[in-house]
Structure 1
Amino acid sequence: MRLTPLLMLASLSAALTVSASAENLVLPLWPEGVPNAKPELGPERLEEGRISNVSEPTLTVFPPAVDRPNGTAVIICPGGGYVRLSTQREGVQYANWLSTLGVTSFVLKYRMAEFGHPAPLQDVLRAVRLVRSRAAEFKIDATRIGVMGSSAGGHLSASAGTLFDHPAGKTGAPLDAVSARPDFLILMYPVISMDDPVTHVGSREALIGKHPPAELRELMSLEKQVTTATPPTLLIHTQADQSVPIENSIRFFQALTRAKVPAEFYAFERGSHGMGMLDGLGTSSNWPARAAEWLRARDLLTTRK
């Protein structure tokens, strides 16, 4: 019997296994096998809330902390220069904050420098497809799935918003039939461009190598990939960022404006790179309240019947 795409998706969804940590469900991204797997990499490394040497990508689920979830979901991509994941500061903390807003969060553990492009892109797009395909199970709205990321995780999130239909992000799996386009983006001090002098050189080299082909460097300069199909975006960056210049967010915001994509850009004075949700940074520490206002204004915090 020839399976239709919907039947294949249902079959794959049923086959996905879920393992549980102490409090959160952990979903394997590739239960059928990680593309271009590298078992020789050995175990992951965990140090001070940061994960490296990832070879088995996962999504960790953080349900809403309120009785009535509003149906919005956010996939969170921690930063770390494509060599490590700041999972605690730029993953779990964001998820706990979003849970107070009634949002269901999924912290993504994605492949990095050990694989290089296109593995991270495949992982984030697979995450969107997986969450969307199981929307009913998690009591979320399949049209209200966003991606949030910081630093290199911001680059990966912006990649999802611009390269969601790119062939490099597909593997031939049945889930490729599900749309990978996020419905909105939240980008925290993101790496955007691969061009000197504004790029973060470490992120660029980890993702596409020290001497990438010109066409790959162009593709991963995401300010050049914005179209009218890029989802509404919130950008947050500071003047004080000495690691990833604010010019990255400026370029992306300008590209969004030219494409007439709804966008807001909060440019703060204080706060070094990787500030996460630290207090004591003046108005910069108020970004979660501003972000919540943006989500509310876009009707993403309203509970739908």
Structure 2
Amino acid sequence: MQRLGARGDAAVTGETAMIDRRTILGASAAMAVTGAAAGVARATPLQRTTLQWPTREHFKLWPGGAPGAPATLPVPKRDGPEDGRELWMRGVAEPTVSVYRPAKPNGIGVLSIPGGGYSFVSVENEGAGVARVLNPLGYTVFVLTYRLPGEGWSQRADVPLQDAQRAMRLIRARAGSLGIDPAKLGILGFSAGGHLAASLTVGHADPVYTAVDAADRGDARPAFSGLVYPVTALTYDDKLNGSGRNLVGDVADPAILARYDTVARVTAQTPPIFLLHAADDGLVPLEMGLSMLTAARAAKVPVEGHFYEKGGHGFGMAADPAHPAHGWGALFATWVARHMAT
């Protein structure tokens, strides 16, 4: 696996690391103990999930209800893979942010945005799993459970971005009590959650909802943006992809497709970007990640890419030591720490 920096030059991973890779590998090995202490249930293919959602410490995004609500709200539903190894959420009527606090906070916050093709939210694999890895390194992790566009909300294409913007503004408004520096709040998105993270990265100021309180005067711009096997556009080979159909419906307005083509909207003002993808991803083509890398380089946006020959899709933090991307959290944590130190 080769690391590509903003100039495209190959580098040896870890030469300038501020966080030793062994730290994260040790944290991964001790995951069950750390997770239990933080109230995070460990899930493996050999046992069914016991994760409760939302977590004990969480907050709702919208007082009085989310914008564009249908006459009949979606009914919350917990499900997941057939073997029950992890939790997915559907029927999100009240979007929330779940809070995972580290024992020794470093002042940096990460809003984790799980994927699910905009048809469910993978809150365990790509939410709680993020906290298991990053909490031991001092990062405060916030997991967004966002509304799903196909569940009756008006302005369906904007619904996830409404929740992501609102989450960033509320976290910043409460930064003092949450133990983070509001200037050091970034995001980490996976798959369709990677599309939402990319949409927030380039569209953090898009006027997608009417302000509801003083928090909405705050900034939703992430200080850094991690995109893991991300969907970066709603079409591929000139056809709507699965996430695209779920976000906009079967008939797409060209203006909406253009607004959510995140690669095309990268500018010199875009926050630093971290990319991670497997070449054998059978759901989201590697070209999605590569196109974002190319756009960032062209706009002179700081960008770092990690691309694996094998790994597939949906591996989250790659907790399994046998997975090719195991330990990639160290790469992300080192990259974040480097950018937040400047």
- Letter of the aligned partner of 1:172 in structure 2? A
1:197-233 CA deviation, whole Å, 9 max, x = no partner?
Answer: 2877110011011111111111111001111221111
2: distance between equivalents of 1:22 and 1:254? 37
1: distance between equivalents of 2:325 and 2:238? 22
User: Which of 294, 300, 303 is 1:260 aligned to?
Assistant: 300
2: distance between equivalents of 1:109 and 1:205? 20
**Structure 1 outlier segments of 4+, above 4 Å:** 20-23
Partner-residue secondary structure (3-state), 1:143: helix
- Letter of the aligned partner of 2:169 in structure 1? R
Partner-residue secondary structure (3-state), 1:298: helix
Asked if the contact 1:185/1:231 (under 8 Å) is kept, the reply is yes
1: distance between equivalents of 2:100 and 2:218? 23
Counterpart in the other structure of 1:83: 119
Partner-residue secondary structure (3-state), 1:117: helix
Counterpart in the other structure of 1:29: 61
Counterpart in the other structure of 1:290: 331
The percent identity for this pair of structures is 37
1:8-37 CA deviation, whole Å, 9 max, x = no partner?
Answer: xxxxxxxxxxxx979631100002321112
TM-score (norm 2): 0.77
- Letter of the aligned partner of 1:35 in structure 2? P
- 274-283 or 241-250: which moved more? 274-283
Counterpart in the other structure of 1:172: 211
Change (3 A) 1:299 1:180: closer
- Deviation, structure 1 residue 250: 0.8
2:172 equivalent to 1:132? yes
Partner-residue secondary structure (3-state), 1:172: coil
Counterpart in the other structure of 1:188: 228
Alignment of structure 1 residues 53-202 onto 2, 5 Å: 53-64=91-102, 66=103, 68-112=104-148, 113-114=150-151, 115=153, 116-168=156-208, 170-174=209-213, 175-197=215-237, 201-202=241-242
RMSD of the alignment, in Å?
2.0
Counterpart in the other structure of 1:46: 78
- 282-291 or 28-37: which moved more? 282-291
Gaps spanning 5+ residues in structure 2: where? 1-51, 81-86
- Deviation, structure 1 residue 183: 0.5
- Letter of the aligned partner of 1:100 in structure 2? P
Asked if the contact 2:266/2:299 (under 8 Å) is kept, the reply is yes
2: distance between equivalents of 1:139 and 1:296? 17
2: distance between equivalents of 1:238 and 1:36? 37
- 123-132 or 188-197: which moved more? 188-197
Change (3 A) 1:85 1:107: same
- 197-206 or 219-228: which moved more? 197-206
Counterpart in the other structure of 2:47: none
Counterpart in the other structure of 1:203: 243
Change (3 A) 1:199 1:86: farther
- Letter of the aligned partner of 1:284 in structure 2? A
Counterpart in the other structure of 1:212: 252
